[in-house]
Chain A
């Protein structure tokens, strides 16, 4: 038995918002793989839950007319990994979420829950940062969009108002067209583990594959929140595809990160990972873009 004070099963997005307005203490449960675990630990003991689990209208991946990829928040990780749109345009996201937990967790855990939970280690988060994702939030006063960098406001905190729901994650065509990416999760085990530090990179090369036109790099567990490292990004723009620049890029990534020592790893080891993962992920992303090193 879980220590649930009351459970309200939402029947639609509007109903979920109404239930949240009606019950100001309630929290949202999607797949439950975070909420129920925290409830078991006692951190969320005796709470009211608004369940959105049965809202199939919030499941699926589609493409808007302007080429924007629309990922609905209750889509589970297995579905994202196997989705043809994800595989064709932003495969690295499917690869990243395929490293979450184990198969059973990937069947229940949702991408919306993974991001709304606000943790720095979320496998989907750094890749969504690297793809410049937009978060679509729906509340009693309508729909608003936030860049994912503004969606995260603190450790474990996101910009959702109490009665708001994340209703879509959007990736614009200009963010993914002609880009290829790579994600590395460094963890102690190959499955059922949380990243010590993780890194997602995507790159756009010039048509002749000799120049780096744009790079986006984001980390998880290199600070209290997932984040991009703009110093490194700016440094490598319009540079030729050469190891010298990749090495400088990886060093520059250290300027913008702030990892801490935890029981999983020391700050020093994480800083080592920040540089090394930037290097390896960018090399692989360049290779996937057709670049030669």
Chain B
């Protein structure tokens, strides 16, 4: 008999209640119960950042976060960035413009880390950005274009203020 537990949490702005197997990771819950497939199963041991989501404003690897711990939390995934008519967010567009996407598997994780960085509304040096993005691995791009995309969006948003 699986041990089930009720998890009440807000996912991408919507309040939800789900019965969840205590053995599930948050990645399992977001993908299987909510079809949020931007949350990738990469290494599944907290090394690659492909499953990165924002919980109460901070980034976590959802693969090493038990689903039952999400009770009472506010969770955001890449899907939350989509506009009402399917428009991309500025950071997503910047990834396209800067060719920061190749195979795309790491991209949702990187973008959610970038969202946390951009929402601090501070200016960071490239070295600081590199460190803040260091929990995400990309095997295609060599990182330069990703840092360009985040830096460009950071400057754009700061100038708009």
In whole angstroms, what is the CA distance A41 to B45 when docked? 9
Chain B interface category by residue count: 20 to 34
B134 touches A1 (CB 8 A): no
16 A-B residue pairings within 8 Å (CB atoms): A1-B21, A2-B24, A7-B3, A33-B46, A36-B46, A51-B66, A103-B113, A103-B135, A104-B59, A104-B61, A104-B135, A105-B135, A108-B60, A108-B61, A191-B134, A192-B134
Whether B137 sits at the interface, judged by CB under 8 Å, is yes
**Which residues 1-16 in A have Cβ within 8 Å of B in the complex?**
1-4, 6-7, 9
Q: With A1-B24, A102-B135, A191-B131 given, can you name 10 additional A-B contacts, CB distance below 8 Å?
A: A1-B21, A2-B24, A32-B64, A102-B134, A103-B134, A107-B58, A108-B46, A108-B61, A190-B131, A191-B135
CB distance from B143 to the nearest CB of A (A): 11
Residue of A nearest to B55 (CB): A107
Given contacts A37-B46, A37-B64, A192-B47, contact A2 B25 (CB under 8 A): yes
B135 touches A101 (CB 8 A): yes
Contacts of A2 in B (CB 8 A): 23-25, 66
Size of the A side of the interface (Cβ < 8 Å), in residues, is: 27
Looking at the complex, which one of A78, A102, A108, A192 makes contact with B65 (CB distance below 8 Å)? Answer: A108
Residue of B nearest to A106 (CB): B135
A32 touches B65 (CB 8 A): yes
B46 touches A104 (CB 8 A): yes
Whether B136 sits at the interface, judged by CB under 8 Å, is yes
Looking at the complex, which one of A4, A41, A53, A190 makes contact with B22 (CB distance below 8 Å)? Answer: A4
Given contacts A102-B49, A104-B46, contact A9 B135 (CB under 8 A): no
**Which residues 12-67 in B have Cβ within 8 Å of A in the complex?**
21-25, 28, 44-47, 49, 52, 58-61, 64-66
In whole angstroms, what is the CA distance A32 to B23 when docked? 13
In whole angstroms, what is the CA distance A2 to B113 when docked? 25
Whether B69 sits at the interface, judged by CB under 8 Å, is yes
Contacts of B65 in A (CB 8 A): 32, 108
Whether B89 sits at the interface, judged by CB under 8 Å, is no
- Of B24, B46, B59, most buried by chain A (CB within 10 Å of CB) is B46
Contacts of B134 in A (CB 8 A): 102-103, 190-192
**Which residues 23-64 in A have Cβ within 8 Å of B in the complex?**
32-33, 36-37, 40-41, 51, 53-54
Looking at the complex, which one of B25, B52, B66 makes contact with A7 (CB distance below 8 Å)? Answer: B66
A32 touches B131 (CB 8 A): no
Residue of A nearest to B52 (CB): A104
Whether B115 sits at the interface, judged by CB under 8 Å, is no
CB distance from A195 to the nearest CB of B (A): 16
Residue of B nearest to A31 (CB): B64
Whether B11 sits at the interface, judged by CB under 8 Å, is no
In whole angstroms, what is the CA distance A150 to B7 when docked? 41
CB distance from A171 to the nearest CB of B (A): 26
A107 touches B59 (CB 8 A): yes
In whole angstroms, what is the CA distance A122 to B28 when docked? 29
**Which residues 86-120 in A have Cβ within 8 Å of B in the complex?**
101-105, 107-108
B132 touches A103 (CB 8 A): yes
Whether B91 sits at the interface, judged by CB under 8 Å, is no
In whole angstroms, what is the CA distance A107 to B134 when docked? 13
Looking at the complex, which one of A4, A53, A107, A192 makes contact with B137 (CB distance below 8 Å)? Answer: A192
Whether B68 sits at the interface, judged by CB under 8 Å, is yes
CB distance from B137 to the nearest CB of A (A): 7
Contacts of B60 in A (CB 8 A): 104, 107-108
In whole angstroms, what is the CA distance A104 to B22 when docked? 22
B66 touches A105 (CB 8 A): no
CB distance from A117 to the nearest CB of B (A): 14
A53 touches B69 (CB 8 A): yes
A54 touches B135 (CB 8 A): no
5 pairs of A and B residues whose beta carbons are closest in the complex = A102-B135, A191-B134, A7-B22, A104-B135, A1-B23
Contacts of B113 in A (CB 8 A): 103-104
For A113-151 the 0/1 string (1 means CB < 8 A from B) is: 000000000000000000000000000000000000000
CB distance from B56 to the nearest CB of A (A): 10
CB distance from B3 to the nearest CB of A (A): 6
